[in-house]
Amino acid sequence: MQIIWRESSDDATYEEARVGRVFNHRRPQRFPLAVVKATCEDDIVAAVKLATERNCRVAVRSGGHSWAAWSVRDNSILIDLGNYKYLDVDPAKKMAIASPSMTGREINSVLVDQHELMFPGGHCPDVGIGGFLLQGGMGWNCRNWGWACERVQAVDVVTAQGDLIHCNSVQNQDLYWAARGAGPGFPGIVTKFHLDVLPYPKRGFRSSGYTYPISMYREAFQWVLDITPGFDQDTEIAAIAHYPDSDSEMVFFVLFVTMKNEPDEAEAALRPAQETRPAGTIEEWFCQEDSLEKQYINQAEKNPERHRYCTDNAFIHDDADVPAVLEEAFTTLPDKKAFSLWYAMNPCSWRKLPDMALSMQSDHYFALYTIWEEERDDHRCQEWVRNVMKKVERHSVGAYLGDSDFQVRKTKYWSDDNAMRLMEIRRSFDPHSRICGYLDQGDLSGTKGLDNAHQWKM
């Protein structure tokens, strides 16, 4: 077990261990006492017991993609799982066991290439499944396949006391319940996820795309909203405002990605969009052959490395005038690399969820991804996000943990009953707040957790 202590390591080694794997280059000014580079479950157990001996907290890093860098905490031992890679696949049972730092791309490179299977992990290829699944997992085709955490059949967990236990629907049920939607407040460290996987729809993986000038924002957005409720349920639907490149004007882009067994099924699924689309596209394609790997490449281009990020999000009320609520967010981007996203959640949002912590959703998921390069632009970009979200929150039911920063804005993340139960589980399994929880302003949440209430709603 490699340990890098702040007090005894050279500055470069410590700094690389502290934030070298943090995706967001808007680096936090928080400094762990030490970083443990774990390679196995025994290392994780030993690190928790070391923290107990030192009377300090434990923080965990899986993929390093948390926008708020939740893993970097003062007065903590940071357990970095980047060197702990484990994947075991049982293709006959359509099951996989994976460690938290495995990314969706890494898992699917094995599942797709060797077994013609897939797991609906994060859209960005370098997102580790640890934080992604704890937060719920808005993965591929979430609108029909459901949340990725619904495919978690069990978790192996190191508790705040340093014990390694197995959790599922019949043993350690409270931790299993919490592992599917608790986010960074989970009172333990997941070492393995036991996952259901799906057949990979290689032959019928197709997409259609329609690019409109931003002046057609209202018309194009309303079209998407109108066709979504009855649209094919194996089709992912997203609308994005962005700049295609640094020399272009802002556009409104609508993407349909369908995952069918056969090409003719894919064409039939995508045909209604092609036949009802408003005239006036700048560019379009219909039922183009696609793949998971091509989608990963596109996602990586839109989420570039070595950049500064500020994100926020909301689930918009089902009966809201969505184009009006989101107009500022979609038409006034503060930087050429920023983008705004609307993601269709219907019909997933209309069915009863399993008994798990995750409990916040609506038909309309909205997120801002503000991306820039220079520190001098920090205030301007962050203020734009804040000003937009102060208005949007009035029309929201809550937010998704994965694109949130509790230091900036707190809102509702669970139903009231689930939030109460979750905070009780946190206090029960970690009464001394050994595991770093929800990083609010000043990092004061401790065993209390989050209030689960809108901050600005009027």
End-to-end CA distance of the chain: 51
CB atoms within 10 A of CB 24: 20
For residues 155 and 192, the answer to whether their CB atoms sit within 8 Å is yes
Structure tokens at 92: 């006959």
Distance CA 221, CA 366 (A): 13
The domain limits of the chain are 87-199, 204-398
Distance CA 217, CA 251 (A): 8
Q: Which residues contact 146 (CB under 8 A, 6 or more apart)?
A: 348, 351
Which residue in 69, 78, 20 sits closest to 50, CA to CA?
A: 78
Which residue in 334, 336, 314 sits closest to 325, CA to CA?
A: 314
Q: What is the largest CA-CA distance in the chain?
A: 67
Q: Which helix (H) or strand (E) holds 192?
A: strand 188-196
Match 């005894």 to its residue by tokens. Answer: 8
SS3 content of the chain, % helix, strand, coil (to 5): 35, 25, 40
Structure tokens at 136: 């719920």
Tell me: domain 204-398, CATH 3.40.462.20, correct? yes
For residues 242 and 371, the answer to whether their CB atoms sit within 8 Å is no
Q: Which residues contact 170 (CB under 8 A, 6 or more apart)?
A: none
Distance CA 205, CA 286 (A): 12
CA-CA-CA-CA dihedral for 418, 385, 326, 249, to nearest 10: -140
DSSP state for residue 128 in the 8-state scheme: B
How many CA atoms within 13 Å lie on the side-chain side of 276?
Answer: 15
For residues 221 and 239, the answer to whether their CB atoms sit within 8 Å is yes
Per-residue pLDDT of the chain (458 residues; tens, 9 = 90+): 899 999 999 999 999 999 999 999 999 999 999 999 999 999 999 999 999 999 999 999 999 999 999 999 999 999 999 999 999 999 999 999 999 999 999 999 999 999 999 999 999 999 999 999 999 999 999 999 999 999 999 999 999 999 999 999 999 999 999 999 999 999 999 999 999 999 999 999 999 999 999 999 999 999 999 999 999 999 999 999 999 998 899 999 999 999 999 999 999 999 999 999 999 999 999 999 999 999 999 999 999 999 999 999 999 999 999 999 999 999 999 999 999 999 999 999 999 999 999 999 999 999 999 999 999 999 999 999 999 999 999 999 999 999 999 999 999 999 999 999 999 999 999 999 999 999 999 999 999 999 999 987 54
Match 């394609």 to its residue by tokens. Answer: 285
CB atoms within 10 A of CB 154: 19
| pTM for the model | 0.97
Match 């990314």 to its residue by tokens. Answer: 103
Which residue in 73, 63, 82 sits closest to 33, CA to CA?
A: 73
Classify 87-199 by CATH class: alpha beta
For residues 156 and 166, the answer to whether their CB atoms sit within 8 Å is yes
252: left (phi over 0), alpha (psi -120 to 50) or beta: beta
pLDDT for position 127: 97
100 preceded by a cis bond (ω within 30 of 0): no
Which residue in 354, 346, 362, 352 sits closest to 313, CA to CA?
A: 362
For residues 139 and 120, the answer to whether their CB atoms sit within 8 Å is yes
How many CA atoms within 13 Å lie on the side-chain side of 356?
Answer: 27
pLDDT for position 457: 57
Which residue in 406, 83, 38, 354 sits closest to 189, CA to CA?
A: 38
Strand 251-260 and strand 364-372: pairing? unpaired
Distance CA 300, CA 26 (A): 18
Distance CA 290, CA 204 (A): 9
SS3 9: coil
